[in-house]
Amino acid sequence: MENQSIFSDSFFAMGTRCDVVFTSIDSELADRIFQMVRNEIEELENRISRYIPQSPLSEINRTGKDIWIAVPDDLWDILTICFDFYQMSNGAFDVAATAVFDLWKDGENLVQQEIDDAKKRSGFDKVEFDFENQKLKFQEDGIEFDLGGIGKGIALDTIKPILINEGIENGIVSFGESSILALGNHPNGEKWPLGIRNSYDVNEFVHLFYVSNETITTSGTIANTDAGEVVKRDHIISPATGFSVEEKRTISVKSESATMGEFISTTWLVLPENDKNILAEKLKNIEILEVDYNEENEYKTKLSLLT
C-alpha cells in the first residue's frame, strides 16, 4: 500500500480537543477512518450532553417528578451502568447529583443550607427504575443527569471496536490527555509509553504507563490551564457531604474499559481509604496511580495493581 505514514488530526468534542494518531497507514484510509471517528463521537455527544437542548438526555432532564419516561436503548445502557457504579461506590459516583455540582460551578463559600437544598434535588436515590419496561421516573422535581464525568470514557469504548473492525492496529485517541485509548504499539515496536505529568512541573512525568489495547483516564482536584498554571477544580464533589474535595490530588487509571476507568478515577478522589480497599477487591486487571501534592507542591505517588 502506498503513502503509508503517521497520520494525525484533531477536532473539538466533549469540551476539549480530541487528538487522533494512526501509524503505518495509507493517508486516504486514515482520513476516512478519522472522519468516521469524529462523526461517531459527535453523534454520541449530541445524544448524551445535557448542554445540547435537543439531546435525548436533555429531554429526560426536563421531565418533572412522578412521570414514567421511556428511555432509548443507548441511554438506558449508559444510565443503568452509571446506576451500577453508584451502587458499587456506595453513592460516591452519582451522575444524578447535578444540582449539587451546578451549585459549586456557580458559586463558592457556600453555606450548608444552600447545599442541603441542592441535595434535595440530587441523587440516584431519588430515581426509580422500571427495568422490565426500560423506564425511569424522578421522585422530585429538578433532578437531572450529567454524564460529563464519564462521557469521554463512553466515547472511547464506543469507537474502539470500530477502529479495530476498520483495521487500525496501532494508534492513539486522546481527549486532552485525560482520557486516552492506545491501540497496538508505538512505532518503535513497544507498547505506548503514556506519561502522567507533574501538575506543578509539566515537563516532568511522575509515572509512565505502558499501554496496548488499553486506556488511561485521569481525574483530579487540580488541573493545568493552557498557560501552564495550576487551578483548583470544584467539580469533584462528595455526594454524601455536598462539599468539594479539598486535597490536591490526581488519580490515573489504566484499564481495558475507559468507562470503567472514568468511574474509578473520579470515585478514588472521593472515597475514604477503607471504602477504596473494599471496592478494590471487586476490580480486576486495573492499575491505579494516586498522586498527592502537599502545601509546598511536592508530590508522592501510590500505584495499586489490581489483578
237: confidence class by pLDDT, cuts 50, 70, 90: confident
Do 33 and 61 lie in a common domain?
Answer: no
Do 256 and 228 lie in a common domain?
Answer: yes
> What pLDDT is recorded for position 232?
83
Angle made by CA atoms 132, 137, 141, in degrees to the nearest 5: 175
Do 68 and 200 lie in a common domain?
Answer: no
The reported pTM is 0.94
Cell readout for 287 is 492499575
Boundaries of domain holding 246: 4-41+164-306
- Tell me how far apart the alpha carbons of residues 32 and 250 are, in angstroms, rounded to a whole number: 36
Among the candidates 96, 122, 138, a domain finishes at 138
Cell readout for 75 is 441511554
Query: Is residue 46 domain-resident?
Result: no
Query: Is residue 31 domain-resident?
Result: yes
Q: Contact at 8 Å (CB) between 132 and 117?
A: no
CATH of the domain at 78: 1.10.3980.10
pLDDT digits (tens, 9 = 90+) for 199-212: 999 999 999 999 99
E strand residue ranges, 90-176: 127-130, 135-138, 171-175
> What pLDDT is recorded for position 3?
53
Q: What share of the chain is helix, strand, coil (3-state, %, to 5)?
A: 35, 30, 35
Do 270 and 192 lie in a common domain?
Answer: yes
Query: Is residue 48 domain-resident?
Result: no
Backbone angles phi, psi at 114, to 5 degrees: -60, -45
Average of pLDDT values for 234-249?
81
3-state SS of 262-277 is HHHHHHHHHCCHHHHH
Do 100 and 134 lie in a common domain?
Answer: yes
Do 128 and 192 lie in a common domain?
Answer: no
Do 227 and 251 lie in a common domain?
Answer: yes
Query: Is residue 28 domain-resident?
Result: yes
Query: Is residue 287 domain-resident?
Result: yes
Among the candidates 138, 156, 177, a domain finishes at 138
Instruction: Give percent of the chain with pLDDT exceeding 70.
Output: 97
Among the candidates 138, 156, 188, a domain finishes at 138
User: Cα 242 to chain center, whole Å?
Assistant: 20
Query: Is residue 144 domain-resident?
Result: no
Do 124 and 64 lie in a common domain?
Answer: yes
Q: Contact at 8 Å (CB) between 204 and 231?
A: no
Q: Contact at 8 Å (CB) between 288 and 98?
A: no
Cell readout for 253 is 487509571
The answer on pLDDT for 281 being more than 90 is yes
pLDDT digits (tens, 9 = 90+) for 7-57: 999 999 999 999 999 998 999 999 999 999 999 999 999 999 999 999 999
Do 183 and 299 lie in a common domain?
Answer: yes
DSSP 8-class letter at 65 = B
- Tell me how far apart the alpha carbons of residues 300 and 98 are, in angstroms, rounded to a whole number: 32
> What pLDDT is recorded for position 4?
62
Do 302 and 171 lie in a common domain?
Answer: yes
Query: Is residue 113 domain-resident?
Result: yes
Do 233 and 295 lie in a common domain?
Answer: yes
Read off the amino acid at residue 267.
T
Instruction: Give percent of the chain with pLDDT exceeding 90.
Output: 83
Number of folded domains that form the chain: 2
pLDDT digits (tens, 9 = 90+) for 130-166: 999 999 999 999 999 999 999 999 999 999 999 999 9
What number of other Cβ atoms are within 10 A of residue 297's Cβ? 13
Q: Contact at 8 Å (CB) between 167 and 4?
A: no
CATH of the domain at 273: 3.10.520.10
Alpha helices in the chain (DSSP H): 27-48, 56-61, 73-88, 98-106, 112-119, 151-165, 258-270, 273-280
Do 297 and 198 lie in a common domain?
Answer: yes
Query: Is residue 67 domain-resident?
Result: yes
Q: Which of 67, 68, 47, 69 is nearest to 57 (CA)?
A: 47
